[in-house]
Amino acid sequence: MTRKTRAIGGAGALAIAGTLLLSGCGGSGFDDSGSAGGDGELTSSDDALNILIGSSGEAETKAVEEAVAAWSDESGVEAKVSVANDLNQQLSQGFAAGTPADLFYLSPDVIAGYAGNGSLMAYGDQLENKDDFYPSLVENFTVDGDFYCAPKDFSTLGLIINTDLWTAAGLTEADVPTTWDELAAVAKTLTTDGRVGLAFGAEYQRVGTFMAQAGGAMVEDGQAVANSPENLEALDYVQTHLQDGTFAYAADVGAGWGGEAFGKQLAAMVIEGNWIGGALSNDFPDVNYLVAELPEGPGGKGTLQFTNCWGMAADSPNQQAALDLVEYLTSTDQQLAFSEAFGPMPSISSAADAWTEANPDLTAFLAGADYAQFPPNQEGANDVISDFNAQLETLKDGDPQQILDSVQANLEAVVG
């Protein structure tokens, strides 16, 4: 059993912040031709670029600033990075005022709205490295058939196991669970007074992994399927083990999120993403752990992925330079450098082997890229998920079918 304590950087529990760094393909000599961005042609000018990011911390900010500065020196185009205090609010204000940043972090839950009102340039098909991005990430940022923006990095969810508690309970590497039944068994073994076997957030962004493992989803082929038999089986399974005390929500064991529950050893296992490494390294450096793929359910393997992209403003006067910068920032060498700096996984398949070699104990996260689902990205879906999360807080004593029927009705109104 591998011990793992190396920091891998934080990116926030839902929105994975981060990406990229040095050695790129920046060029110079941008001309003054071009037209408005909405028709597929890129604008070009001598204007400087403004880049707006939502940073996970000093390491990410420094890495992005240095990468952009290096590209600027090479291309001859001035560029400035600004760090948002509230990214969504500042994006909205910039669009409303007609002064948006040229490039910005953009999450899947807001892309459909901005695409629908003409705020975004759909430049994805013009990327020289477009075929290198993982297909599921491309799908995440595709709206009405248009690939809008380059995924800047991503994370999946895995099973984080406290190896000291595992060994103390008489478990071995052979006991790492690969099925729901095995997960339930080891969770029971690891549950003691004052510690639960498995903890996770009371939210779709964690419970949804069980839905995926049951063969369920929120949306399939453009149709809402939230109240499917598969999703009901998943919630029944979770409810059973919330009731028997072997699973628990992080808040119910006195923690703000899964990483805190794990670090304080209030839970022997948690479902979290690769951002947990930085948090454990900073706050709980003596906790030893390993990362495993989430166990298979009746429908097979399943996890969720989280990502952001480099959004480009339709009103940017220098989209050609912005595209060049995105290609620079999403190149293999730079994404690997960002991964080393603060922990995200590269969004391109060409970086997979090098990333795996550099992070042998974290390969379970990357393996999830082959089968990960992403939260629905239709306009209004974020509100549906927020309501779903509120209902999941009552799952232990609630009615799973009633919860899913409510989510289904709300989702149908969004998906149409």
Rounded Cα–Cα distance for residues 122 and 312 (Å): 8
- CA 366 from chain centre, in angstroms, equals 12
pLDDT at 224: 97
User: Hey, which of 3-17, 62-76, 367-381 has the most confident mean pLDDT?
Assistant: 62-76
Rounded Cα–Cα distance for residues 169 and 189 (Å): 7
pLDDT at 15: 35
Domain ranges of the chain: 37-155+306-366, 157-304+374-415
| Percentage of the chain exceeding pLDDT 70 | 90
User: Residues 50-82: pLDDT tens digits?
Assistant: 999 998 888 899 999 999 999 999 999 999 999
Residue tagged 């996260």 (tokens): 365
Is residue 2 predicted with pLDDT exceeding 70?
Answer: no
Give pTM, 2 decimals.
0.84
CATH C-level class of 157-304+374-415: alpha beta
| Torsional class of 296: left (φ above 0), alpha (ψ -120 to 50), beta (otherwise) | beta
Q: How confident is residue 129, by pLDDT bands cut at 50, 70 and 90?
A: very high
Report residue 254: phi and psi, to 5°: 90, 25
Q: Do domains 37-155+306-366 and 157-304+374-415 have the same CATH topology?
A: yes
Q: How confident is residue 18, by pLDDT bands cut at 50, 70 and 90?
A: very low
Q: Secondary structure of the chain in the HEC alphabet?
A: CCCECCCCCCCCCCCCCCCCCCCCCCCCCCCCCCCCHHHCCCCCCCCCEEEEECCCCHHHHHHHHHHHHHHHHHHCCCEEEEECCCHHHHHHHHHHHCCCCCEEEECHHHHHHHHHCCCECCCHHHCCCHHHECHHHHHHCEECCEECCEEEEEEEEEEEEEHHHHHHCCCCHHHCCCEHHHHHHHHHHHCECCEEEEEECCCHHHHHHHHHHCCCCCEECCEECCCCHHHHHHHHHHHHHHHCCCEEEHHHHCCCCHHHHHHCCCEEEEEEECCHHHHHHHHCCCCCEEEECCCEECCECCEEEEEEEEEEECCCCCHHHHHHHHHHHCCHHHHHHHHHHHCCECCEHHHHHHHHHHCHHHHHHHHHHHCEECCCCCCCHHHHHHHHHHHHCCHHHCCHHHHHHHHHHHHHHHHC
Q: Which fold has domain 37-155+306-366?
A: D-Maltodextrin-Binding Protein; domain 2 (3.40.190)
Beta carbons of 126 and 146 less than 8 angstroms apart: no
User: Residues 330-365: pLDDT tens digits?
Assistant: 999 999 999 998 889 999 999 999 999 999 999 999
What tokens appear for 46 in the block? 């001598």
Q: How confident is residue 314, by pLDDT bands cut at 50, 70 and 90?
A: very high
| Percentage of the chain exceeding pLDDT 90 | 83
